[in-house]
Copies of this chain bind each other. A is one copy, B any other.
Amino acid sequence: MSLESEIIVSHYFLLMMQTLEQTHPTFLKLKSLLAEIEDIYGATSVLHWDQKTYMPSKGSGARGRQLATLNQIAHEKFTDGTIEQLLDDLVSYERDLPYDSDEASLIRLTRRDCDRASKVPTEFEVRFSRLQTDCYEAWAIARAEQNFALVQPMLERMLEMSREYSGFFPEAQHIADPHIEGSDYGMSAVSIRSTFAELRAQLVPLIDAISHQPPVDQSCLQQHYPEAEQFAFCQSVLKQMGYDSERGRQDKTLHPFMTKFSIDDVRITTRVYENDLRQGLFSTIHEMGHAFYELGNAPELEGTPLAGGVSSGVHESQSRLWENLVGRSRPFWHYFYPQLQAHFPSQLGAIPLDTFYRAINKVNRSLIRTDADEITYNLHVMIRFDLELDLLEGTLMVKDLPAAWNDRYSSDLGVTPTSDSNGVLQDVHWYTGQIGGMFQGYTLGNLMSAQFFDAAIAAHPEITDRIAIGDFTVLHDWLQTNIYRHGRKYTAAETLDRVTGKSLSTQPLMNYIRCKYGELYGI
């Protein structure tokens, strides 16, 4: 037998083995039950999306009940012992599977999710689901009326329930850890505090140095940009960057987000400010980065807990990579700026590319996280992370949160909110999610985005040249192969190690920032 036919035989054997594995009846039963649960969560995502896009205001009461009922059913199905039993029955089957295989990963991930979920009573999930709806509605009103007091009682209940949640994990080292574990598995309050301190120590002197340079003129961005035209330009950018309109769409919401109903229906939203070009533009690219990740999952992960992204940090690394390392780069605007000028000739026709590029990268101590530059952005995140911990630890009361928020903005960023809306009410997260584990992912994402981008460039140095001619496929394909297709198969630490050969580090981001902003500010 020649070597070639040996290979063919063994390949065939492997395929056959895989087929046999896939038809293991217990495994199939597990997959089918998980698919049902995924269907229910897919439906809740549609209900959430509708609530934030098109639902008439008085629909919220029933929507809360519907979401609570669906969450209850899904949580019960996940934790009623059936899946636990199937997982137990699969222990010996799992032992013979390669760690990397879809089957082993599915069992491993399901066990992790199921262990966590089973600690939380269904009754809690239902109560929490209702609170999320009520608190979101109260936030929307409070934000419109610029009055934190209107949502304070709801947020107090949210904090209470977030603390109650932590109580289901008595083994946790810190009250925030169950929340952090939920969004960034493998991280903890201690490890994040240490990473953030290290990053902060490098950022603060840099921001100081920049603040001593002559201020950048940003006025070209703050002209009148009609909403419809901005939206049209964003649609055109999405199309050229490869966001498939047959598998997604973009709508307008109070707070931009990405949501997934299935691998072929991953939607994004944006908000557009008519007096500032940045919000619509960069939130569009940001959410598109999230969507790329979900759309790039291997199709065979659909309907299983393997579909999705590794963690909040890794997910953010993808949105921030596209938003910043691509979307705020010179090559990107070399390609897109003439198109932007054509969309807005009276506003930008006479503005040179370099002026525009400097304007969108202006480092500026400001009030709004989603408007912040790449550097100060991390200080916004750290403020929120610290306040979350203070609230959970009980050293800060909800009623004192607006003042604490404003104090931190004054001391850390040198600016003070003029109202609750550009202060403590600006982000939806605490009001619709929970308190805890909500913000650290953004800065973890910034760190990882630079690590991943470095690895991509090392593998394909032509990436930046390609971006300059509007070709995003090399970068996209690399991300697809190395990150997107694996879904939740690996942990964040495993992903970093597999893709970059290193663990989490502040150096790639700091190198990127020093290089880019050194050039921009001559420091």
Contact = CB atoms under 8 A, between A and B. Distances in A.
Interface stretch (A137-145, A192-200, A257-265, A421-429): A257-265
Contact of A69 (B39, B55, B57, B245): B39
B265 A39 contact: no
Interface string A54-69: 1111110111011011
A510 interface: no
A73 B37 CA distance: 11
B251 A61 contact: no
Interface string A23-50: 0000000000001100110111011011
B247 A39 contact: no
B62 A302 contact: yes
A70 interface: yes
A62 B264 contact: yes
Interface string A77-110: 0000000000000000000000000000000000
A508 interface: no
Contact of A57 (B49, B65, B70, B246): B246
A249 interface: yes
Given A63-B261, A63-B265, A47 B43 contact: yes
A56 B57 CA distance: 25
Given A43-B70, A66-B39, A70-B43, A247 B50 contact: no
A61 B261 CA distance: 11
A213 to B, nearest CB: 46
Contacts of A338: none
A417 interface: no
A248 interface: yes
A63 B66 CA distance: 18
A73 B54 CA distance: 26
A246 B47 contact: no
B59 A261 contact: yes
B56 A245 contact: yes
Nearest to A58: B264
A95 B509 CA distance: 75
A70 B41 CA distance: 11
Contacts of A251: 54
Nearest to A260: B62
Given A43-B43, A43-B47, A251-B54, A262 B59 contact: yes
A73 B70 CA distance: 10
Interface string A318-356: 000000000000000000000000000000000000000
Given A46-B47, A59-B262, A36 B69 contact: yes
A264 B59 contact: yes
Nearest to A247: B58
A374 to B, nearest CB: 31
B249 A62 contact: no
A36 B42 CA distance: 18
Contacts of A43: 43-44, 46-47, 66, 69-70
Interface string A411-426: 0000000000000000
A233 to B, nearest CB: 20
Interface in A143-202: none
A66 B68 CA distance: 17
Nearest to A62: B262
Contacts of A63: 261-262, 265
**Which of A50, A59, A73, A302 has the largest number of chain B CB atoms within 10 A?**
A59
Interface string A249-271: 10100000000011111010000
B264 A54 contact: no
A62 B246 contact: no
Given A62-B264, A246-B58, A40 B302 contact: no
A265 B46 contact: no
Contact of A42 (B49, B62, B261): B62
B65 A39 contact: yes
Nearest to A251: B54
Minimum-distance CB pairs A-B, first 10: A62-B262, A59-B265, A39-B69, A58-B264, A39-B66, A58-B246, A57-B246, A58-B247, A42-B66, A43-B66
Interface of A: 35-36, 39-40, 42-44, 46-47, 49-50, 54-59, 61-63, 65-66, 68-70, 73, 244-249, 251, 261-265, 267, 302-303
Given A39-B65, A40-B73, 4 more contacts: A39-B68, A59-B247, A62-B264, A62-B302
27 contacts: A39-B66, A39-B68, A39-B70, A40-B66, A40-B69, A42-B62, A43-B66, A46-B46, A46-B47, A54-B54, A54-B249, A55-B265, A56-B246, A56-B247, A56-B264, A57-B246, A58-B244, A58-B247, A59-B247, A59-B261, A61-B262, A62-B261, A62-B263, A62-B264, A62-B302, A63-B262, A66-B262
